[in-house]
Structure formats: C-alpha cells, structure tokens
C-alpha cells in the first residue's frame, strides 16, 4: 500500500520505518528541512534500539522516502497518517494546531479519495475536528472528493518501540466506515497473522483508549510511590510490600515499582490533557489530578534525601548522577526526574557531574555549557571527589557495578538510589551508606 506520514518525530518515524519494513511504500514528510536531509543521509534524530537499522534497510530497498513537499506526500499516499506533535498548552490541554494544519494541507492538495488517520495522541473529538477542517477546505475548493478520517492511536514504549510496532499487543482503530475497516485490515495484515489483534471501535472510544491506557499506568506508578512514602513513615520496606501485593494475580507485578517519579513525552502530558478534557465537560477528575500531583512531589524526593543527609547544606557539594534519560534505552529527557533534581541542586549551590549511556548530547542541548555541570562518557570518572552518587535511571549497566571502585572514588561512600536497584544489606556489608525509595527514613520529615 502507498502510505504517507506527516511528522518524522518519535511516532512518525517508527511508524513509517516499520510499515516500510513489511513492504508498504511509505513517504514521510516534515517541515524541518535539516531533519529531512539528515534522514536521507541516514542520521536518526532520536535514539531507539533497532530503529536505525530498520530505517536504513527500508531506504536502501526504496520503500521509505523523506520529503518536505506536502503536495507530493498527499499525492503519494491513499492512507495518510497524522503523527505531528501535540504539545501541552499552558492549561494542560493538547495543542492541536499542527494536527489540524495537516488536515487542511491534505484537503488543499488531494485529488481523489484519501483516508486520514490520526496517529498522534489527541483528545476525544479531534478526529471530528479534522473531519470538519478537511470538509471546509474542500468546500472552499468546490471539490466533491470523498474522504474518511479514522483514529489509530499508537502504543509504543520508548526503548522498545520497534518491537512494539512489529509485534503489537493490540491495534486499535476508531471508525464507523466499512471502507476504512477494509483498508486498515489490509494495512496491518502483516502484523496480524498469528491472531487478530485489530480492535475496531467508534472514533471517540479509540481516542479515549490511548489516554486511558497511559493514565492507568501513571496511576499505578503514583500509587506505589504514595505507598513508598507511607512505608518510610511507618518503617516498612516497600520492596517487600511490592512483592506481597504483586503476587495477587488481580494486581500483578507490572508497573508497581516505586521510584523517583515518571517522566517522558507521554504520561505527564497525557494525564494533564485527560484532566483538562474532563474539566471541559464539567467533570472534576480527582483521582487523575492526584496522580499528577503525587508524581510532581515524588520527583523532589531525591533532593529531599540529599538535603537531609547533608543537613540542608549542599553549597559547594559535588553530586554525581547516573542516568539522565527519563527511562532506560532512550535519550529522551522530557519531564525526566533528573531535571527536577538537577535544578534543585543548582538552586542549593551544588555542582553536578553526570553520566548517561545515551542522553549526554540531549543534556548538552538542554543546558549548554555551564561551570556547575560536567557531562562525562565515563560512569566512574565522575565519581572522583564527588560527595554522593545519585541514581536516576535504571540502565542495565548500573545494576551490578563495581562497588569497591565506587567506594574508592567517592569522597564518602554515599549512594541515593531513585530506582531501588540494590540490596540495602549488601550495601551495608560493603561499607556504603545507601538510601533508596520506601526503604529508609532519610528525608521522611519532608514528606
């Protein structure tokens, strides 16, 4: 099938590359000329395991092309995906200007039937707005051209997006059109061979499914972080609590790991957008509001523990940080807990030395060059003379480091672990002062 995708960001690029990988003819369009030229040259703007190989192979086979010419993309694809950004407005609602602009562009250039599919995460009612935008422009043109608008939300995890797309748990499509259902079944047939993963719903339900999924996962994380703080207050061990409740099959072990808060481009934005949608319909979503508030508070826990350890005096202290990305296997630092910690440390007069396997370039882009920030490609070098080590991201290589080397390099063997990677008893045996989430009393007075 001939497919066009507007937007070559995280969702658009993964979607385009994976659709091309299975044989579809895909044209990706973006307004950023430099990004398009880089993609043509094989330069991938994001780190995502396996993506570069898929893109390079599809481009070499001639099934994946990149352009800035919107008219060419509209002419190319019978199915046109909208995968542009939906950044949050000041009130937390999703900004739909780019999504609607694509609808307008498609209507300006289409000459025969087109299926427009919203792939971006968008609030309920967006497909209807795109439908109106396309119809309005066609009316202005005096063109009687058939078209459909459908919803097809993405469920890609950063760090596993290629695998998620190629082996999906489910493929949700919102439509009431038999023609659309036939086209989407043909499109996704290569991913649907083992059993039927396609779930067809009405458009509004499809749009809400995406927000509901992310909000549910965010709720589980905030719930466990709330429990972790209670555990610190009452002297319990949240990891033992986690195992105890996770063994109940009604609860399970997924997404019940306490930590220093969730981040990234999806959970924070989508929870806020869902809250805003509810408020627009005059409903007060108290649970979702609390999920967001608990997460914001949890991002402060690492600083609170450091501040308590140093008796409120972090002026001039050198703090080493392992992990800047919001999660492993990505370079994405959007809404990352590390950013909350770093800003709090700078405000307190501390200096930061940081290591991350993939996010150093992104950190340099965000913060630039400054005297109180050292970015290093060596995880152990940043420990030399540091007053404490903080772990913000659970990268695989942090799970079993050389603790004797850590102890030797730090001014004082102190680890504050935002991901509960280590056994407190083992750390005590090795002579390391170890503080984590929901397993000790350090900083509990600030709760």
Q: What are phi and psi of 60, to 5 degrees?
A: -60, -35
| Residues contacting 99, CB < 8 A, separation 6+ | 82, 84, 86, 118, 120, 122, 126, 130
Write down the residue that tokens 């080397």 correspond to: 405
CA 426, chain centre distance (Å):
33
Q: Is 266 a catalytic residue?
A: yes
* CB neighbourhood size of 369 (10 A): 7
Q: Which two tokens mark 353?
A: 């030395």
- Cβ atoms 78, 2 nearer than 8 A: yes
d(CA 310, CA 114): 62
| Residues contacting 239, CB < 8 A, separation 6+ | 258, 420, 438, 439
* CB neighbourhood size of 142 (10 A): 6
Active-site residue, selected from the candidate residues 18, 27, 260, 266: 266
d(CA 361, CA 101): 31
Write down the residue that tokens 């990149």 correspond to: 66
d(CA 343, CA 253): 32
d(CA 258, CA 229): 9
Positions marked catalytic: 266
């Amino acid at each position: 099938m001939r497919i066009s995708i507007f937007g070559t960001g995280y969702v658009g690029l993964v979607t385009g590359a994976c659709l091309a990988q299975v044989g579809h003819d895909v044209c990706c369009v973006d307004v950023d000329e430099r990004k398009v030229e880089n993609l043509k040259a094989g330069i991938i703007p994001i780190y995502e395991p396996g993506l570069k190989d898929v893109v390079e192979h599809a481009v070499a086979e001639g099934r994946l092309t990149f352009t800035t010419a919107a008219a060419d993309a509209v002419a190319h694809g019978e199915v046109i995906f909208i995968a542009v950004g939906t950044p949050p407005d000041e009130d937390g609602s999703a900004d739909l200007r780019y999504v609607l602009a694509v609808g307008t562009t498609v209507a300006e250039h289409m000459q025969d039937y087109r299926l427009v599919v919203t792939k971006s995460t968008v609030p309920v009612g967006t497909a209807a707005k795109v439908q109106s935008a396309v119809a309005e422009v066609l009316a202005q043109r005096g063109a009687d051209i058939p078209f459909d608008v459908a919803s097809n939300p993405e469920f890609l995890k950063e760090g596993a997006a290629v695998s998620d797309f190629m082996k999906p748990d489910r493929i949700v499509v919102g439509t009431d059109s038999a023609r659309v259902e036939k086209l989407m079944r043909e499109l996704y047939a290569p991913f649907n061979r083992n059993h039927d993963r396609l779930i067809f719903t009405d458009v509004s339900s499809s749009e809400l499914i995406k927000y509901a999924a992310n909000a549910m996962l965010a709720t589980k994380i905030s719930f466990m972080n709330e429990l972790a703080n209670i555990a610190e207050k009452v002297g319990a061990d949240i990891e033992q609590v986690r195992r105890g409740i996770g063994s109940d099959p009604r609860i399970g072990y997924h997404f019940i790991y306490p930590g220093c808060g969730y981040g990234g481009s999806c959970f924070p934005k989508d929870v806020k957008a869902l809250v805003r949608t509810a408020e627009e319909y005059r409903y007060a979503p108290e649970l979702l509001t609390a999920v967001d508030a608990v997460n914001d508070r949890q991002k402060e826990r690492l600083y609170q523990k450091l501040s308590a350890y140093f008796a409120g005096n972090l002026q001039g202290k050198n703090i080493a940080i392992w992990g800047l990305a919001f999660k492993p296997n990505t370079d994405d630092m959007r809404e990352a807990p590390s950013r909350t910690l770093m800003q709090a440390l700078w405000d307190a007069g501390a200096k930061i030395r940081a290591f991350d396997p993939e996010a150093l370039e992104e950190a340099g882009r965000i913060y630039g060059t400054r005297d109180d920030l050292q970015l290093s490609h060596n995880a152990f070098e940043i420990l030399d003379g540091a007053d404490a080590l903080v772990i913000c991201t659970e990268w695989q290589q942090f799970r079993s480091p050389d603790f004797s080397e850590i102890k030797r390099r730090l001014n004082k063997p102190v680890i504050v672990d935002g991901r509960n990677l280590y056994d407190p008893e083992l750390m005590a045996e090795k002579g390391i002062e170890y503080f984590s989430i929901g397993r000790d009393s350090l900083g509990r007075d600030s709760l």
